Amino acid sequence: MDEGMTHDALVAVINTAAHLIRHYQPPCQNRKLADKLMVAADALAAATAENEALRELLFLTHASEGHYLYGDDGEMQCNACGCDFKRDSPQQLNEKITRYSMAALAKESGR
């Protein structure tokens, strides 16, 4: 896999390939590969749906004292720590929450 390919770009490539296979039957010698690609496209769609559900759950449970959620227009952001639950990677979310929490702790302790 191209290391620079985003998740959305990967989904687009696989979905385009699956679409082409559905509409233009591949020759017999490519049928096994086509079947594997269709299975991969279905697995990716299921993983994407699960990812979205978990992100929404994380967003909804993020609300707490000091964290103000913005959820208009399908967005899932926290105005306090800057987390974007739709677009940030898990590592970015972790870094933003940690940075915000450390700053809040320092402020509480008067540093």
Positions touching Zn ion (CB under 5 A) are 67, 78, 80-81
Q: Which is nearer to Zn ion, 18 or 81 (CB)?
A: 81
Q: Shortest distance, CB of residue 28 to Zn ion, whole angstroms?
A: 55
* DSSP secondary structure of 8-45: HHHHHHHHHHHHHHHHSPPPGGGHHHHHHHHHHHHHHH
Pair 68, 78: CB distance under 8 Å: yes
Q: Which is nearer to Zn ion, 17 or 80 (CB)?
A: 80
Q: Shortest distance, CB of residue 5 to Zn ion, whole angstroms?
A: 29
Q: Which is nearer to Zn ion, 25 or 66 (CB)?
A: 66
Cβ-proximal residue to Zn ion, closest one: 78
Q: Shortest distance, CB of residue 23 to Zn ion, whole angstroms?
A: 44
Specify burial of residue 45 (Cβ count, 10 A radius: 0-12, 13-18, 19+): middle
